[in-house]
Structures are given as C-alpha cells and as structure tokens.
Amino acid sequence: MSPFSGSAPRTENWRHLRLTTEDGVATVTLARPEKLNALTFGAYADLRDLLAELARERSVRALVLGGEGRGFCSGGDVDEIIGATLSMDTAQLLDFNRMTGQVVRALRECPFPVIAAVHGVAAGAGAVLALAADFRIADPSARFAFLFTKVGLSGGDMGAAYLLPRVVGLGHATRLLMLGEPVRAPEAERIGLLSELTEEGQADARAAALARRLAEGPALAYAQTKALLTAELDMPLAASVELDAATQALLMNGEDYAEFHAAFTEKRRPKWQGR
C-alpha cells in the first residue's frame, strides 16, 4: 500500500469499530457484543478504510484484531446484510462482495503484521478475517466455522478458497468450506489453523504481547517478509529467488541492517528504526 495520501483528512472517529494505539501497536476491536460482533456494511467499510489509512501513516508497526464480549465475530449480520442483499440488484451485490474482498486484501497487503485474537465464535466472514491475519492466537473457547454453504452460497467467499488451502492444506480446506462444520480450538491447532493456543481467557493478552514484540523489532524486515509470503504463493521458484535477492539487496542498504552490525560489534541490543 502506498504511503502517499491525497486531500482526504485523517479519520478521527470510527463509528463501526473501536481503535486504540500505543507505542506502535494498534488494537482494533469489533464492538457489537450484543450481536456477537456481527458485521454490517459500515463495519466492513470501516475495516477497509482503517487498514488503508494506517498503512499510509506508517506509524503502526503491529495490529491486533479482536472482538468484544462472548466471541470474536459471528459473521455478517443476518438482518442488516443478508436480509438487505435480497433486495439488491446484481451491480449492488457485486459492489458489496468486492468490498468484503477488499478488507481481506487490506489485511494481507498492509505493511505490518496483523494478529487475530480469537475467543468464542469466529464464523463466516469472522472466520475469514481471522484467516487473513498473519497470526491467529486463540483460547480453548474458540471455534471456527466457514458457514457460506450453509446459507446457499459458495464456500469460496472473501478469498477463503485461496487462503485456507495454503494454511491447512487442500483436504482440510475442502472439508471446512464444503460442509461448514465448526472447528474447535484443539482441532484448529492440530491442522495448522492456529499460530498459538493459549490458556482460557488469555488470547487477548498473548496477542498483545506478540504485537509489542513485533512493534519493537525491525519493522521494514517484517513488512517485506509479509509481502514476500503473499507474493510468492503463486510464483515459480526461479521468480521467488530473484524477488528475494532484489529485496535483500534493498534491505542491505537500510539503516536497520547497519544497526545490527553496530549493535553486534558493540555487544548491545539493536535499536531498530524500521528503515
């Protein structure tokens, strides 16, 4: 995402989610606990726009995405989205579905690591938001369900058919996307859907600790690692190796690379600048 901005001012108030920032860590909380944080049109749009805004500002070095109350996110609101889409024409439906995909692209393309802190339900679009994060940290209450076929739609929604096989393999992805059955935390860990399974109630704390660790590290190196992981999913080996070489050559001209050598020589910890 480009750091250059136009005339649009910085958004001071996000109506459909809660944002806090501290020491380079942004915490984004889906805050409709009475609805299990079900997503609305506005929530999707806010997530898309917020991620783009944070990417441009370059002040955030890690982001935690969580949900308030009893669960992470129950997916699209049945009344406010599913009910509303029944009266839309094809052009409107395409605009909506493209917007949901833009959220996933923003999660994958933003130049900082995203950590999903999952407890309780992560269903439908909520499961895909967690899937699109770089890390998924969950406690034993977490359960994932890709419910799209349950409502008569393709399981390949919001990029799920692209991302899920690359995380858990084609066999598991076929089962999860076709059948829409819930995957509880122990199985999610076993098949590789989770980065970490915590003790009960500890997902938020562990996600925050990981975010702080990442925020204190070499941000540019992390950003380029994320970019290469995404770009090279569809590249042949020769192209991947060439892209790696070009990336490393650029980073070797950076301040952080020189800082590592200075810190090593002086027997101290590096002071990473993200440059």
243 phi/psi in degrees, rounded to 5? -65, -40
Residues in CB range of 237: below 8 A, 6 or more apart: none
Domains and CATH numbers, the chain: 17-216 (3.90.226.10), 219-266 (no CATH)
Q: Is the pLDDT score of 3 beyond 80?
A: no
Model's pTM, two decimal places?
A: 0.94
| CA 121 vs CA 82, 138, 149, 212, 260: distances in Å | 19, 11, 17, 25, 42
Residue 226 to residue 114: CA distance in whole angstroms:
10
DSSP 18-46: EEEEETTEEEEEE--GGGTT-B-HHHHHH
pLDDT digits (tens, 9 = 90+) for 143-194: 999 999 999 999 999 999 999 999 999 999 999 999 999 999 999 999 999 9
Write the DSSP symbol of residue 135.
E
32 pairs with which residues across the strands? none
18: three-class secondary structure by DSSP: strand
Do the beta carbons of residue 141 and residue 184 sit within 8 Å? no
Structure confidence by residue, pLDDT tens digits, 68-126: 999 999 999 999 998 999 999 999 999 999 999 999 999 999 999 999 999 999 999 99
Q: What is the mean pLDDT of the chain?
A: 95
Position 6 scores a pLDDT of 72
Q: How confident is the model at residue 1 (pLDDT cuts 50, 70, 90)?
A: low
Pairwise CA distance, residues 139 & 186, whole Å:
9
Proportion of the chain above pLDDT 70, given as a percent: 99
